[in-house]
Amino acid sequence: MPQVLAPGDPLAIDPLSAFQPPNFAHGFGTDESGRDIYTRVVHGTQYSLVIGAAATAIGLGLGIVLGTLAGMLGRVVDFTVNRLLEVLLAFPGLLLALLFIVIFGPGVVTATIAVGLSTAPGYARIIRAQLITVRSQAFVEAATVLGRTRWQILLRHILPNTLAPLFVLATLGIGQAIVWAATLSYLGLGAEPPTAEWGAMLSAGRTYITSAWWMSFFPGLSIVLTAVTATVLGRSIDRRMRHV
């Protein structure tokens, strides 16, 4: 898909074209190696979206497991999981991601997993609250009276009625995950230059911020616009679901 909008090679260098400001030949300018910033930003979109989606999937998946355990397996399990979540939520999410990377080493895969794990506690608390709300509904009590097992009730009645908020969480989470993954790449703990990833591009451009502002401006603008778009889309979905 990126090849349609930017058919060039995002890693192709042209030293003679280095540090060109935005012009007709290079709409976003070029970097220190003569690589076209526009091509790299477009190809970086796919890279960053994949990282954001994967991290969100990890966080939501773990959040669903923890939230379901807390909401469905009685007071002892609920108390234990809640204390664990409170401890994890006491630390900033990005700090948890950094701690994971310190233990397992930097890299794209590690950064993606770290971002996913750091967002899981927040998802788990929301999912637990939603499960408890749905569990108290009349149709769940009716299923219990009819002799359905706990897991049958969970799979057939409770989880399907908690999917709507998950779509909103996932949409909002992708924007957050992209920002966090870009932050880790900027710190040199995720994707590394010359990878066409927005955070790595920001990291490479900070050295030349006073003389080649476009190297940092356009990747940074892409991160901001993507995060804002994901937030607006998530809130729009939330409003529509509330009116259904």
Rounded distance between C-alpha atoms, residue 26 and residue 217, angstroms: 15
In a domain, 26, yes or no: no
In a domain, 3, yes or no: no
In a domain, 203, yes or no: yes
In a domain, 187, yes or no: yes
In a domain, 127, yes or no: yes
Q: Which of 34, 24, 192 is nearest to 106 (CA)?
A: 192
Residue 44's domain spans which residues? Answer: 36-242
Number of domains in the chain: 1
Going from the first residue of the chain to its last (244 residues), give the mean pLDDT of each consecutive group of 10, the final group possibly shorter.
Answer: 75 91 93 94 89 91 88 82 87 86 89 91 86 78 74 76 74 87 89 86 91 94 92 79 62
In a domain, 28, yes or no: no
Please report, for the domain that includes residue 150, its CATH number: 1.10.3720.10
- SS3 state at 106: coil
Q: Which of 224, 217, 194 is nearest to 40 (CA)?
A: 194
Total residue length of the chain: 244
Rounded distance between C-alpha atoms, residue 10 and residue 119, angstroms: 31
Rounded distance between C-alpha atoms, residue 67 and residue 170, angstroms: 15
In this predicted structure, what is the pLDDT of residue 243? 60
In a domain, 18, yes or no: no
Q: What is the pTM of this model?
A: 0.85
